[in-house]
Structure 1
């Protein structure tokens, strides 16, 4: 898994690309505070090599809690900027700082 950040000079956004190697998965989405934890519209595209990938524009100078939703199971990003405990989920969420 990986996260790539590209800051735009012309807009106050950061293009964030999420890459998840999950050859056996049928569906992978990124859910978090930036999309109200809703997988609709945040599904990653499966590439021929079995990796799922997607890019989202997120406002700069913010932090976002998120997780991957892989075939209905929540998974954290190993390369997250940090982790935040979430009482509702009873586990840690990955945090992205942009």
Structure 2
């Protein structure tokens, strides 16, 4: 799993690309604060078996998020940090922008 950040000079926006290698999966979703934990925001499956999607996210904030791979919630290993979430009783990945 990986994520890349591209900060725009003209706007307070960062283009964040999420890439998840999951050739055996049928769906991969990224859900987080930046999209109201929308579990229908599926990433696109590429020919190499990975899933990829880019989101325009406002800067100067931090966002909790997780992946949902075929219904199973998982964290991003390359996240800026992890944070405990009492509501979910689990750690969430954190994206610092």
Structure 1 Cα separation of the partners of residues 16 and 39 of structure 2: 16
User: How does 1:46-85 map onto structure 2 within 5 Å?
Assistant: 46-85=45-84
2:34 aligns to what SS in structure 1? helix
TM-score by length of 2: 0.97
- Offset at 1:39? 1.7
Moved segments of 4+, more than 2 Å: none
- 2:4 aligns with 4
What displacement does 1:72 show?
0.5
Structure 2 unaligned runs (5+)?
Answer: none
2: CA distance between counterparts of 1:39 and 1:9?
30
* Aligned Cα root-mean-square deviation (Å): 0.6
Aligned twin of 1:86: 85
**Number of equivalent positions:** 97
Q: 5+ unaligned residues in a row in structure 1: which ranges?
A: none
Which residue is 1:15 aligned to?
15
Q: Distance in 1 between matches of 2:86 and 2:60?
A: 25
1:35 is displaced (CA, Å) by 1.2
TM-score (norm 1): 0.96
The offset of 1:19, in angstroms, is: 0.3
